[in-house]
Amino acid sequence: MLTSKQIRQDFIEFFEKQQHTYVPSSRVFPEDDPTLLFINAGMNQFKDVFLGISKRDYVRAANSQKCIRVSGKHNDLEEVGKDTYHHTFFEMLGNWSFGDYFKSEAITWAWQLFTEIWKIDENKLWASVFGGDAADGVSPDTEAEKLWVENTSIPKERVLRFGRKDNFWEMGDVGPCGPCSEIHIDLGEDRCNMKDDPNHVCQVNGDCERFMELWNLVFIQYNRDDTGKLHELPNKHVDTGAGLERIVAVLQNKSSNYDTDLFIPIIEHLEKLSGKKYTSKLGNDTDNAFRVIADHVRTLSFSIADGATPSSDGRGYVLRRILRRATRYGLILDLHEPFMYQLVPTLLDIMGNSYPELNERKEHVMNVIKAEETSFAKTLERGIEIFDSFITSMKNENQTVLSGDKAFQLYDTYGFPLDLTQLMAEERDLTVDVKGFEKCMDQQKAQSQAGSKKATYQADGLGDKLPATDDSHKYENLKLETTLIGYVSNQDYINEGTIPANTNIGILLDKTCAYAESGGQVGDTGQIESNGEIFNITDTQKVGDAIVHYGNTTSSQFKIGDSVQININNSSRNDTARNHTATHLLQWALQKVLGPHVKQQGSLVNPEYLRFDFTYTKPMTPQEITDVETLVTEKIIDNQSVGYKVLPIDQANQLGAMSLFSEKYGDEVRVVAIGTNGESIEDAFSREFCGGTHVKNTSEISGFKITREESNATGVRRITAMTGQGLNQLLTQRSQIVDQLTNALNATPEELEIRVHKLIEENKKLKSQLKKGTGTDLKSASQKLLDDAQTFGDSKVIVGEFPTAPVDMIRTQIDWLRQKSQSMAAAFASKTDDGKVLLFTAVTDDLIKSKGLKAGDIVKEIAPIVGGGGGGKPQLAQAGGKIPEKIEEALNQAQKHIEAKLN
């Protein structure tokens, strides 16, 4: 039996023999296409070629592309697990022609690979072609129809015509498009899942699972303009796509993609972790859970390995939703502790050789997934309890739609993505008010944005309008004679006349020495001078190929065509350079102290401080922070030279220069090296791809101090540090604080640490003494409650009030009462220091089983009386409230509830 690895390799080697260039898969999310969250087809990385924006140095290509379909019109998330073939992550085998071969070769090679290389029974194969569209004025694709019969052994009656819906491909509402021809396979009558329907007929593109599409050959021969009309393209292209998972299932003779060697090792690992057995059945909750988890761990692992991180927005939130969805399915398999991360090594065994980035970032992937699982586990089961309480209330009121505000509460408080709440509701034959949920989301966003609005310069859509700027002087000069050639105001570019006064604009020069914001480094500030007038630059940005100098005009003396002088703020530029070089030293030191697996995830470099994000899953220890500071400081003191060299990217990679995984680089890159020897950078201890400004010698950095180390995202830590003037100001402020403390405590600076520790210990002793007093009061109250308890048979009913005390101390007394009573149903109340209410209910196991008494049910009934809510397990539950004057009423209701059950 062919393995999935062999099948993938067969495809690539077959097309290499047909003079195709093997192009490695791009990342699972696009680098420069804002219209896509994730790559969802093999053609995505060649979109610019099809649009005529750029060219490659080859005209034939082939690969296996990593794809994810979880958003937009291509969203398979809800279908995963329910059938045998839907996935959120899949591989798309594809071959492309960019104005080279066309329909004849594409059809011939597809047939040869299927029938001659992979030996698929040609009697099971069918082909479909475009049947034409009257509205578009396009005739049937008789060319492809004829080629199928002439170039292959497929009989004419198995070449079928279909309409635009099935056999016409379009990139969007406008742009390249064309007819497509698909290869389908007849899997046999036993694969029909609609046999009970007497009117059903099995057919290609039908409703049942007997016929399955294996390969889509797209012939891009038209361009649709903005009026909807089609025009023949001068250069015609081929774009094909075949799902690897489906082909593997066919070649391995499996009725389900999940039964192939792409998934079975993961499922077998899940069986060991859960103790459950996978039976490959559909409609079975347990088997559905196996399939969902096996699919989702692939999506998560590849996304994280490619540089994405679960977060609260964008593609990061999509990943978080997927992980939390899988975690909830884990409960079906009785997996209550983090488990997904344990599946990653098994995935690497399957796919690590084909996708080396998985192996390179294995530890990071596992750490991120584990941290996310751990975080969600803290609220998952509590959130399910709250969801169950909502459902109970709905059933009591004969409602079938969970309100949007309750769905939002689950999202906002317990981290439940909307689709997870919808899934849980669907399992109860209920729905969710999605519009109500979205309204709550919009309200929250509006409140969040209201306090953070700031003036910004709008440059959307301007990139194509602006002329390119020569900014080659930015590394060497801080002032430059140049010419004012135009300015940006709102959405317009003006290149003639006089610049108006008192207006926020962006000035364009024919050449500049200003650094535009890029690579984490902020844009330069400074001044532009002309005829005694000054324009203050507050920010510098790159828009398209232009450098735009933003600021506010104070007069109308600047004219287009004027000769001007630009002066960069020397102090800010130097401070920024210090901080930028320090980030390079910091990354080097982090890898020395924490390990080579530490990778940069982002940075911010400005005159005041530097911020550096890096992959690491736990807080750094004080000693590790000190070690990093020491290493950086040593290199500063060592007067290490800093240089750069522009190299072909392959040569830079061979030198081991570090790059930011999320950045897209050109054919040539600028490598900044620290510890250089003259012109040579080979012996430098730090080499990084970088286009920023730097000091010429590390001694110019003038000190280094980490001021904060914190979590930025799951699996990502953030360091904030200072150098130069900023550091000097910080040390001065801290010295003043030390002086104030020495005066207040009447101690020398050297004695401060001992004196503060002594005060902390004294404070702890005082708290302990107060706690003992509270404990004595609680013990007395517990004994009195036990003495006054009512007896029902062998069981005690204990209802009453505790004095104000910490929750853990009250719970300890409840445990003591449970031990003393052996059989008990109880309800307690306590007032808090801020005048609110705490409610506790407890039931022993014997009464849960024999009488159906549950602590959670009792607390849900009485909590609303005190203006609160809560829940818990059958043995112990807790709630809060804000109406202490109704404590007696709530406890009386609890007494009635318990007695009704016991009687």
Q: How far apart are CA 427 and CA 63, in angstroms?
A: 40
- 625: alpha, beta or left, given left = phi > 0 and alpha = psi -120 to 50? alpha
- Confidence at residue 878, expressed as pLDDT on a 0 to 100 scale: 92
Count of alpha carbons within 13 Å of 325, Cβ hemisphere only?
31
Question: Which pair of structure tokens corresponds to residue 148?
Answer: 């199928």
* Mean pLDDT confidence for 251-277: 96
Q: Are 489 and 541 in contact (CB under 8 A)?
A: no
- Confidence at residue 602, expressed as pLDDT on a 0 to 100 scale: 87
In this model, does residue 499 exceed pLDDT 90? no
Q: How far apart are CA 657 and CA 653, in angstroms?
A: 6
Compute the mean pLDDT over every residue in the chain, rounded to the nearest whole number.
88
In this model, does residue 646 exceed pLDDT 80? yes
- 338: alpha, beta or left, given left = phi > 0 and alpha = psi -120 to 50? beta
- Confidence at residue 452, expressed as pLDDT on a 0 to 100 scale: 39
In this model, does residue 457 exceed pLDDT 70? no
Alpha-carbon distances of 566 from 511, 514, 570, rounded to whole Å: 10, 8, 12
Q: In this predicted model, which residue has the larger pLDDT, 124 or 429?
A: 124
Q: How far apart are CA 359 and CA 32, in angstroms?
A: 26
Question: Which pair of structure tokens corresponds to residue 542?
Answer: 């790159």
- Confidence at residue 72, expressed as pLDDT on a 0 to 100 scale: 57
Render pLDDT for 543-561 as a digit per residue (tens, 0 to 9).
888 999 999 887 777 889 9
Q: How far apart are CA 789 and CA 800, in angstroms?
A: 9
In this model, does residue 773 exceed pLDDT 80? no
Cα pseudo-dihedral 347, 348, 354, 358, rounded to 10: 110
* Mean pLDDT confidence for 168-192: 88
Alpha-carbon distances of 325 from 317, 320, 338, rounded to whole Å: 12, 8, 13
Question: Which pair of structure tokens corresponds to residue 756?
Answer: 């503060």
Which residues, in sequence order, are CB contacts of 316 under 8 Å at separation 6+?
308, 309, 310, 713
Q: Which percentage of the chain shows pLDDT scores above 90? A: 54
Alpha helices in 430-476 (DSSP H): 434-450
* Mean pLDDT confidence for 432-450: 78
**Helix 418-427 to helix 404-414 angle, to the nearest 10 degrees?**
120
Alpha-carbon distances of 338 from 273, 378, 895, rounded to whole Å: 11, 11, 40
Which residues, in sequence order, are CB contacts of 393 under 8 Å at separation 6+?
none
Q: How far apart are CA 695 and CA 148, in angstroms?
A: 66
Render pLDDT for 105-146 as a digit per residue (tens, 0 to 9).
999 999 999 999 999 999 999 999 999 998 888 999 999 999
* Mean pLDDT confidence for 33-39: 72
- 636: alpha, beta or left, given left = phi > 0 and alpha = psi -120 to 50? alpha
In this model, does residue 459 exceed pLDDT 50? no
- Confidence at residue 251, expressed as pLDDT on a 0 to 100 scale: 97
- Confidence at residue 484, expressed as pLDDT on a 0 to 100 scale: 93
Q: How far apart are CA 43 and CA 61, in angstroms?
A: 10
The per-residue DSSP string of 10-37 comes to: HHHHHHHHTTPEE-----SS-SS-TT-S
Question: Which pair of structure tokens corresponds to residue 200?
Answer: 């059903």
Burial of 770 (0-12, 13-18, 19+ CB in 10 A): exposed
Q: Which percentage of the chain shows pLDDT scores above 70? A: 95
In what side-by-side order are the strands of the sheet with 668-674?
642-648, 668-674, 686-689
Count of alpha carbons within 13 Å of 224, Cβ hemisphere only?
18
Q: Which residues of 838-853 are buried (b: 16+ CB within 10 A; e: fewer)?
A: bbbbbbbeebbeebeb
- Among the ranges given (56-65, 530-539, 716-725), the one the predictor scored with the smallest mean pLDDT: 530-539
Question: Which pair of structure tokens corresponds to residue 414?
Answer: 């317990």
In this model, does residue 699 exceed pLDDT 80? yes
Q: In this predicted model, which residue has the larger pLDDT, 636 or 666?
A: 636
- Confidence at residue 31, expressed as pLDDT on a 0 to 100 scale: 65
Q: How far apart are CA 644 and CA 695, in angstroms?
A: 11
Residue 384 DSSP class: H
Q: Are 420 and 329 in contact (CB under 8 A)?
A: no
* Mean pLDDT confidence for 413-431: 82
Residue 705 DSSP class: E
Tallying the residues shown for the chain, one arrives at: 903
Alpha-carbon distances of 754 from 366, 698, 782, rounded to whole Å: 42, 37, 42
Which residues, in sequence order, are CB contacts of 568 under 8 Å at separation 6+?
477, 478, 479, 513, 514, 515, 524, 525, 526
In this model, does residue 732 exceed pLDDT 60? yes
- Among the ranges given (201-205, 502-506, 821-825), the one the predictor scored with the smallest mean pLDDT: 502-506
Q: Are 692 and 353 in contact (CB under 8 A)?
A: no
pLDDT band of residue 75 (cuts 50, 70, 90) is low
- Confidence at residue 454, expressed as pLDDT on a 0 to 100 scale: 34
Beta bridge partners of 790: 797
Positive or negative torsion for Cα 248, 254, 259, 261: negative
Render pLDDT for 629-641 as a digit per residue (tens, 0 to 9).
999 999 999 999 9
Q: Strands, E, within 490-532: which ranges?
A: 492-494, 504-509, 526-530
Q: Are 224 and 170 in contact (CB under 8 A)?
A: yes
User: Per residue, what are the HEC states of 547-593?
Assistant: EEEEEECCCCCCECCCEEEEEECHHHHHHHHHHHHHHHHHHHHHHHH
Q: How far apart are CA 476 and CA 521, in angstroms?
A: 17
Which residues, in sequence order, are CB contacts of 284 under 8 Å at separation 6+?
none
Q: Which residue has the tokens 């586990």?
A: 377
Positive or negative torsion for Cα 661, 667, 670, 675: positive
* Mean pLDDT confidence for 699-717: 90
* Mean pLDDT confidence for 649-672: 74
Render pLDDT for 560-607 as a digit per residue (tens, 0 to 9).
999 999 999 999 999 999 999 999 999 999 999 999 888 888 899 999
Residue 470 DSSP class: B
Residue 641 DSSP class: B
- Confidence at residue 10, expressed as pLDDT on a 0 to 100 scale: 96
| Closest alpha carbon to 328 in 447, 449, 419 | 419
Residue type at position 318: V
In this model, does residue 322 exceed pLDDT 70? yes
417 φ/ψ angles, rounded to the nearest 5 degrees: -60, 150
- Confidence at residue 451, expressed as pLDDT on a 0 to 100 scale: 42
pLDDT band of residue 317 (cuts 50, 70, 90) is confident
Most confident of 257-271, 298-312, 317-331, 377-391: 257-271
* Mean pLDDT confidence for 15-38: 84
Q: How far apart are CA 660 and CA 31, in angstroms?
A: 13
* Mean pLDDT confidence for 226-243: 89
pLDDT band of residue 668 (cuts 50, 70, 90) is confident
Burial of 814 (0-12, 13-18, 19+ CB in 10 A): buried
Other Cβ atoms within 10 Å of 349 Cβ, number: 12
